[in-house]
Amino acid sequence: MATQDALLVVHGGGPTAVINASLFGAVDEALKTPGVGRVLGALGGMGGITDGTFVDFAQVSPEKLSLLPSSPSSAIGTSRKPLEADDYRDLAHALERAGVRWLLPTGGNGTMNTCGEIWRACQAEGVSIDVVGIPKTMDNDIAVTDHAPGYASAALYMAASVSEVCCDVRGLPIHIVIVEAMGRNAGWVTAASALADESGTGGPDLIYLPEREFDEHAFLDDCQRLIDEKGSGVVVVSEGLHKTGGGPVAPILMQTGRSTYFGDVSAHLSRLVISELGYKSRSEKPGLLGRASMPWQSTIDRNEAIECGREAVRAVLAGDSGKMVGIERLSTSPYEVRYTRIPIEQVMLDERTLPDAYINEQGNGVTDEFRAWCRPLLGEPLRRFASFV
């Protein structure tokens, strides 16, 4: 059995624009900390642990490591492999055989659940491994923390991209354009599109969030109003919209564990405008383009991701196991946060959705309270555009 002196980072779930920034923070902190032997990354997610496929970061050049904060997706790979009770016990012993003393899983709700289960399995099996989770999700649906690394960049991408769509529609006001945002059951990314109006030429006319039941008749009435008043409009919808009773707006294509492959909501609603209102409509679905976009990576997001990685190393080396690094907002203006350590049981599979105070009374937009909360995360103001129409 290998000497138990290794620190291992493993990624889980969907990539983001800053998951590699967290990896950089953790690796850089660990490499310069006395007492840590090997600093490893599991290749391909949890499967890398059971297969014993690791990258040794001591063998990676500083020049290549420096690229991590500005590299999209996951440089060490990731996965969404479903795990059963026996798998956690097997992972605990696989980590022990590999000489891992400290484990840092990086991911969202599912990965934080895995983090907690591995920690419990290590305790139950008498395996001396400390575990601390690093939060990561563009969906921003992890509980307790103010926000998670990955969200701010996705929010910036959505706000900036929708601002450009709004300019396009303003210049040629002949249709209703429906933009679909990722985020599953949480509307955080969808809501961020409201900040598109910082461009100076208007933002989306309507925003529909999964935290509210979707009424097709009310939606069509809203669209008809836009047609009557402006001849056009921009509508942003969440991929997780659901009807009264919980049924999806567009049929779900596939469900595997916690992973839901939603039907094309924007295309469905665009066809509805055409068929029911007899008016031109287009659908746009950025999808993966907005999940890990480097041109729209938020500087705030990148810096916070790096610090979350560093804090996780500090926590796990201090023996503060069974925790997840959190971000606590101390002030919105000026923006100030501190990094906390949250008991993992408070986070495991607890989905955090948009609170009522952030959604307008009509259920087709957001409030100023949300805008004030979201604005600092984007960093610099959006580029402003000229318009004379």
pLDDT at 147: 98
286 with 300, same domain? no
Domain-located, residue 21: yes
In a domain, 143, yes or no: no
- For residue 93, which of 139, 70, 54, 125 has the smallest C-alpha distance? 125
Catalytic option among 87, 139, 222, 301? 139
CATH number, domain of 319, equals: 3.40.50.450
Query: 57-62 contacts: CB < 8 A, separation 24 or more?
Result: 57/27, 57/30, 57/31, 58/31
- Number of separate domains in the chain: 2
Domain match, 80 and 107 both: yes
Is residue 148 in a domain? no
Per-residue confidence (pLDDT) for residue 357, from 0 to 100: 98
Q: Has residue 385 been placed in a domain?
A: no
Residues 6+ apart with CB under 8 A from 318: none
Q: What is the pLDDT of residue 1?
A: 60
CATH number for the domain including 207?
Answer: 3.40.50.460
Whole-number pLDDT of residue 282? 97
- Which phi and psi (to 5°) does residue 201 adopt? -120, 25
54 and 105 fall within a common domain: yes
**What pLDDT sits at residue 299?**
97
Task: Report the C-alpha gap between 54 and 144 in whole angstroms.
Answer: 31
Same domain for 90 and 118, yes or no, is yes
CA distances from 240 to 16, 22, 79, 139, 325 (A): 19, 28, 22, 11, 27
Q: What is the mean pLDDT of each run of 10 residues along the chain (389 residues)?
A: 88 96 98 96 96 97 97 95 91 96 96 96 95 97 97 98 96 97 95 96 96 96 97 97 88 72 89 98 94 94 98 98 98 97 93 96 97 96 88
Residues 6+ apart with CB under 8 A from 276: 220
Q: Does residue 150 lie within any of the structural domains?
A: no
- One-letter identity of residue 58: A
| 105 and 172, same domain (yes or no) | no
The whole-number pLDDT of residue 347 equals 93
Q: Is residue 147 part of a domain?
A: no
pTM assigned to the model:
0.95
Domain that holds residue 316: 6-138+296-346
Do 132 and 263 reside in the same domain of the chain? no
Q: Known catalytic residue: 168?
A: no
CA distance 98 to 50: 9
C-beta of residue 206 within 8 angstroms of C-beta of residue 236: yes
Question: Quick one: 254 and 310 in the same domain?
Answer: no
Q: What is the pLDDT of residue 257?
A: 65
